[in-house]
Amino acid sequence: MTNATLKQLSQQLAAGAVSSVELATQYLDRIEALNPQLNAFITVDRARTLADAAAADAARAAGNAGLLTGVPMVHKDIFCQQGWKTSCGSRMLDNFISPYSAHVVEQCNAAGLVTLGRANMDEFAMGSSNENSYYGAVKNPWDLKAIPGGSSGGSAAAVAARLTPVATATDTGGSIRQPASHCGVTGIKPTYGVVSRYGMVAYASSLDQGGPIAQTAEDCALMLNVMAGFDERDSTSLERAREDYTRDLNQPLAGLRVGLPREYFADGLDGDVAKVIEDAVAELKKQGAQVVDISLPNTELSIPAYYVIAPAEASTNLSRYDGVRYGHRAADYKDLVDMYEKTRAEGFGAEVKRRILVGSYVLSHGYYDAYYLKAQKIRRLIANDFTAAFAQCDVILGPVAPTAAFNIGEKSGDPVQMYLSDIYTLSVNLAGLPGMSVPAGFDRQGRPVGLQIIGNYFGEAKMLNVAHQFQLATDWHTRAPAL
Amino acid sequence: MSLTHQDVARIAKLARINVSDEEIVAVGNQLNNIFGLIEKMQAVNTDGIEPMAHPQDVSLRLREDIVTQTNQREAFQAIAPQVEKGLFLVPKVIE
C-alpha cells in the first residue's frame, strides 16, 4: 500500500478498501523502520497523526469527505503548523512550537490531509545537499552515501523511500527541483505568487515559493490544487481565479514546441545526465513535440546575482531571530548587544551565518548600488532572456543539476563549489517562473536524474501535461529504491 | 576586492553575530571566495536596465482599515525566552 500514489490512495479510501487510520499506521510503521537510516524526519508524533486520521475517518463516515480526506502527507519543517515543532532545520528554532499555521497547512488541513510528520531540511532552506541541517544530513534512499539534494531533501527522500505519498517543499533557488531530481521523484515550483508564503519561514522573500513533491505529475497537480490560492496575508500573493491544475493532463503533445537552451548543454554537464535528457527529449519528439534551439545567454550570471539577492534578503529576514520573542536565547550575556551576538552565534549554523554576513555587507552603506542594485538589474536581463525564449517555444527542457547526487561530504567544505551546482535552477527563481523536475533515468552509479521542465508564467497546467504524458510512456517515476 | 579581518569583524558586528578571533580567518577566506564569484557580475554592462524587485511587478495591495487579528498574547508569550507580567524581558538598556 505504501507504494501507492496519492490518486490511488484517494480512490481506495473512497471505496472503503482502507481507512485513514490503517493507512497512517502503515506509513508510521515504515517511517519507524526506515527513518533511522535516512534521517528524513525531524518530528514524528504518532498519537497526533492517528487522532487526525481518526477524525478524517469520522468525517468520511458522516459523508463529509473530499477528494483527499484521510490521505497522509508530510510537511517540510519550514511551514508553521500549530502545535508542532517548526524548527526550519535550525538550533535557533529547536524549541519553537508554532502557535499558528501557514496558509499551506491550513489548506491541507481543510482538504482533510493527515500529517505524518515534519521533514528534515537544510537550515532555513539554505543549501543544496541537506548537510546544513542542525538535525544532521538526510541520506539519499537510492544510495546512503549520497546527498538527497536540498534544501527540501527530507521531503524528497521521504517520497522516494515511500514514507509518504506526498510532501510539501519550498524552492528559493532549486530546493524543490534539485532534491526531486536527486531522489527520483516529481516536484513542481509554481510561478512566484501562486502559493502563499504566509507562515512559511522566510529565507529570500522575492524568490521563495512553496510547492509539492510526489511520485507523479498527476499527484503534484492534485496537491497544487490544494496548496495554491490567493491569501491576503502574503503581500505578494497573486489575486487570480482558482485553477484546476489537472485540467490539461490528458492533452496530446503533438505540435508542442520544446526549447532546448544551448547554455544548459555546455561544458560542465555530466555525460550521463546529458544522455538521460537527450533520451527524454527523444521520447517527447516521438509524441509529436518539435524541438527548438534557444539561447539563455545570461545563465552564468544567475549565480552571482542569486548569491547577492538571496543573502541580502536573508540577512534582513533573519534579523528577527534576536532571542527576545521566541526561539533560542544564549544562557549568559552582559548586555543586550552581547545577548544578540551570542544568541545568533549559537543559534545559526555555519552556512546561515555566511549568507547573513554576505547579505549584511552587500546592503551596508556605500555598497548597495554595487551589489544589490546591480544584481537586480542582472535579474531583469535574466527574465528578459526567458521572455525572448518563450516567444519561440511552449516549454523549456534541460537538466536540473550538472551531475546526479554527489557524495555526502564531497562539497561541504567548499561553499563556492556547492553554489556552482545550482547553475540550471537559479535563473527560474530570479525570473519568477514555474519549474519542475521529472524522473527521467539514472547515471552510471544508479543515482536518479531528473528532467527539468520550465514553463512560462502561470504555465503549470501545461508543464504538468508534458510531465504526465512523459510518465504515461515511461516508468522512471515508478522505480523505488530497495530499502 | 579582498576583505580584511577588520572588515569581517565590522560585518559581523553589523549582523549581530559573534565571530571569535579563532574563526575570523576561516570566515574571511570563505567570504572572499564567495565575493570572488559575485564580482563576476561587475563586468556586465547594465546601463539603462531597470532593476527587478518582483517577478510580476505588481504594486502592493491596500487593505481595509479594520481589525483582523485577535489578541493572542498568551499563546505568543508561552514560547518566549523570558516574560513577566505580559512583557518580553531583555537586559537593561536604559540606566
Alpha-carbon distance A370 to nearest alpha carbon in chain B (angstroms): 8
What is the C-alpha to C-alpha distance for residues A458 and B54, in angstroms, rounded to an integer? 15
Output the DSSP codes for A262-324. GGGGSTT--HHHHHHHHHHHHHHHHTT-EEEEE--TTGGGHHHHHHHHHHHHHHHHGGG-SSS
Alpha-carbon distance B29 to nearest alpha carbon in chain A (angstroms): 11
Residue B68: the pLDDT is 86
Closest CA to A460 of A155, A238, A156: A238
- Within 8 A by CB and 6+ apart from A171, the residues are A152, A177, A187, A189, A208, A209, A210, A211, A425, A429, A435
Residue with cell 485540467: A247
Q: Which of A20, A175, A237, A315 is catalytic?
A: A175
What is the C-alpha to C-alpha distance for residues A224 and A209, in angstroms, rounded to an integer? 12
On chain A, the residues whose CB falls within 8 A of the CB of B41 are 301, 304-305, 308, 374-375, 378
pLDDT class for B94, splitting at 50, 70, 90? Answer: confident
Residue A237: the pLDDT is 94
Report the DSSP pairing between strands A257-261 and A395-399. Answer: parallel
CB A392 within 8 A of CB A169: no
Q: Which of A7, A76, A189, A462 is catalytic?
A: A76
Residue with cell 500549530: A82
> Are B51 and A376 in contact (CB < 8 Å)?
yes
What is the C-alpha to C-alpha distance for residues A329 and A333, in angstroms, rounded to an integer? 10
DSSP code for A146:
B
Alpha-carbon distance B79 to nearest alpha carbon in chain A (angstroms): 6
If phi > 0 it is left, if psi is from -120 to 50 it is alpha, else beta; for residue B48 that is left
> Are A336 and B90 in contact (CB < 8 Å)?
yes
CB A434 within 8 A of CB A176: no
> Chain B neighbours among A 117-156 (CB < 8 Å)?
none
> Are B11 and A364 in contact (CB < 8 Å)?
yes
pLDDT per residue of chain A (483 residues) written in tens, 0 to 9 = 889 999 999 999 999 999 999 999 999 999 999 999 999 999 999 999 999 999 999 999 999 999 999 999 999 999 999 999 999 999 999 999 999 999 999 999 999 999 999 999 999 999 999 999 999 999 999 999 999 999 999 999 999 999 999 999 999 999 999 999 999 999 999 999 999 999 999 999 999 999 999 999 999 999 999 999 999 999 999 999 999 999 999 999 999 999 999 999 999 999 999 999 999 999 999 999 999 999 999 999 999 999 999 999 999 999 999 999 999 999 999 999 999 999 999 999 999 999 999 999 999 989 999 999 999 999 999 999 999 999 999 999 999 999 999 999 999 989 999 999 999 999 999 999 999 999 999 999 999 999 999 999 999 999 999 999 999 999 999 999 999
Residue A432: the pLDDT is 97
* CA closest to A420 among chain B residues: B37
Residue A1: the pLDDT is 81
A68: number of CA atoms within 13 Å, CB side? 25
The dihedrals phi and psi of B52, each to the nearest 5 degrees, come to -115, 115
CA distance readout (Å), A190 to A103, A151, A207, A209: 16, 16, 11, 7
The count of structural domains within chain A is: 1
- pTM for the full predicted model: 0.97
Q: Is A175 a catalytic residue?
A: yes
Report the DSSP pairing between strands A395-399 and A435-442. Answer: unpaired
The residue type of A399 is: P
pLDDT class for B93, splitting at 50, 70, 90? Answer: confident
- Within 8 A by CB and 6+ apart from A321, the residues are A92, A327, A328, A343, A344, A347, A348
Nearest to B38 among A308, A322, A333 (CB): A308
Report the DSSP pairing between strands A448-455 and A435-442. Answer: antiparallel
pLDDT digits (tens, 9 = 90+) for A430-460: 999 999 999 999 999 999 999 999 999 999 9
Q: Is the pLDDT of residue B61 over 90?
A: no
Residue with cell 516549454: A395
Structural domain harbouring A416: 1-483
User: What domains can you pick out in chain B, each with its CATH number?
Assistant: 5-43 (1.10.20)
Alpha-carbon distance B84 to nearest alpha carbon in chain A (angstroms): 12
CATH of the domain at A447: 3.90.1300.10
What is the C-alpha to C-alpha distance for residues A367 and A351, in angstroms, rounded to an integer? 22
Residue A220: the pLDDT is 98
> Are B11 and A238 in contact (CB < 8 Å)?
no
CB A314 within 8 A of CB A357: no
- Within 8 A by CB and 6+ apart from A11, the residues are none
Q: Which of A87, A129, A151, A302 is catalytic?
A: A151
